[in-house]
Amino acid sequence: MEKKKVNINRDDVVIHVDNISKSFGDLHILRDVDLKLYNGENLVVLGRSGTGKSVLIKLISGLLKPDKGDIHVLGEIVNQLDERELRDLRQRIGFSFQNSALYDSMTVRENLEFPLVRNKRNLTRAEIDKEVEEVLEGVGLSQAINQMPSELSGGQRKRIGIARTLILRPDIMLYDEPTAGLDPLTCLDINSLINQVQEQYQTSSIIITHDLSCAKMVGDRMVMLLDGKFERQGTFEEIFNTDDERVKPFYDYNFID
């Protein structure tokens, strides 16, 4: 399935990861990492498990703090914000978790209402219902509104997780392994949904993945994290047109003849 051409404004940087490093004890995960996300683009971050891809988006959303460097998001320096300022900024950032992270004691409706009623307290009941129904329809799961998360399949949970972030109409979407653990057809559905979100909501997104089919289908640009640094960037072809032994097996495993 071909990705539609989208408008990317390369003069407008929405995220600038400026020379950051992050370690956990003696383990150096990210070293002097530099990255820019432009307005309207889908940027795919590739890399092996444990290379710090998820750490990167947790740093961007302020869940972790860098040891060194700054993270600029929508004009704010995330690592310098206080709790209240960070909460305000986070309303403009959607985060889709690898395991969906749905609140398992709440129904789908309550999951979707949760961020809405807490961030937009002046909404009426009718307005909340309208928003919930609209966003659920957008991800094609209107019928699941009264179900519990435990009653949903992996793909449905992913969709609801994405819907829950979309309900606040974010400017930026961060996807952590959106296709992990899903069958190929559901992966295609999720990839289409990511593209649909980009077009419909005009979001700029970072997609963390090691699924090259997903990367190829949703990415406008790609970067590859190797040994704690972004060593390769460009289009899919530019990334994999190399003899680098650290990159080749990645491609061979995903697209074996």
Partner 1 sequence: MGRKIEKLLIEFARIHRFMMSFLREAVSPPYEFKEIVRQCYEIGWKSFPLISLTGFIVGFVFTKQSRPSLEDFGATSWLPNLISIAIVRALAPLVTALIASGKVGSQIGAELSSMNVTEQIDAMEVSGTNPTKFLISTRIIATTTMIPVLCFYVAGIGLFGGYLSIATKDDLSILAFFTQVFESIAAKDVFAMVLRAVVFGFTIGFASTYVGYYSSKGTEGVGKAANAAVVSSMFLVFIEELLIVQLLSLIG
What number of helices (H) and strands (E) belong to the chain?
9, 10
**Which H or E element spans position 28?**
strand 27-39
Taking CB under 8 A as the criterion, the residue among 103, 200, 227, 246 binding partner 1 is: 103
- Helix/strand/coil for 93: strand
Could you give phi then psi for residue 77, rounded to 5 degrees? -95, 105
Query: Could you say which residues in the range 7-46 bind partner 1, by CB under 8 A?
Result: none
Site for partner 1 contains 91 (CB under 8 A) = yes
Tokens 């435990």 locate to 150
Closer CB to partner 1, 112 or 224, in the complex: 112
Instruction: Choose the stretch contacting partner 1; rule: CB under 8 A; options: 41-49, 123-131, 163-171, 190-198.
Output: 163-171
Site for partner 1 contains 214 (CB under 8 A) = no
Q: Residue type at 16?
A: H
Task: For Cα atoms 214, 43, 232, give the angle at the middle one, nearest 5 degrees.
Answer: 95
- Rounded Cα distance between 35 and 79, Å, is 16
Q: 233 near 239, Cβ under 8 Å? A: yes
Site for partner 1 contains 112 (CB under 8 A) = no
CB of 243 to partner 1, least distance (A): 38
Q: Which residues contact 131 (CB under 8 A, 6 or more apart)?
A: 112, 116, 123, 167
Site for partner 1 contains 93 (CB under 8 A) = yes
Closer CB to partner 1, 46 or 102, in the complex: 102
CB of 86 to partner 1, least distance (A): 9
Site for partner 1 contains 115 (CB under 8 A) = yes
Closer CB to partner 1, 141 or 247, in the complex: 141
Site for partner 1 contains 88 (CB under 8 A) = yes
- Helix/strand/coil for 177: coil
Site for partner 1 contains 118 (CB under 8 A) = yes
CB of 119 to partner 1, least distance (A): 5
Site for partner 1 contains 90 (CB under 8 A) = yes
Q: Is 19 left (phi over 0), alpha (psi -120 to 50) or beta?
A: left
Instruction: List the beta strands (DSSP E) in 41-197.
Output: 42-47, 68-73, 76-77, 93-96, 172-176
Nearest C-alpha neighbor of 62 from the set 41, 93, 26: 93
CB of 105 to partner 1, least distance (A): 8
CB of 135 to partner 1, least distance (A): 13
CB of 256 to partner 1, least distance (A): 32
DSSP 218-245: H-SEEEEEETTEEEEEESHHHHHSS--T
CB of 192 to partner 1, least distance (A): 23
Site for partner 1 contains 97 (CB under 8 A) = yes
Interaction site with partner 1 (CB under 8 A): 58, 61-63, 83, 87-88, 90-91, 93, 95, 97-99, 101-104, 114-115, 118-119, 121, 164-165, 168
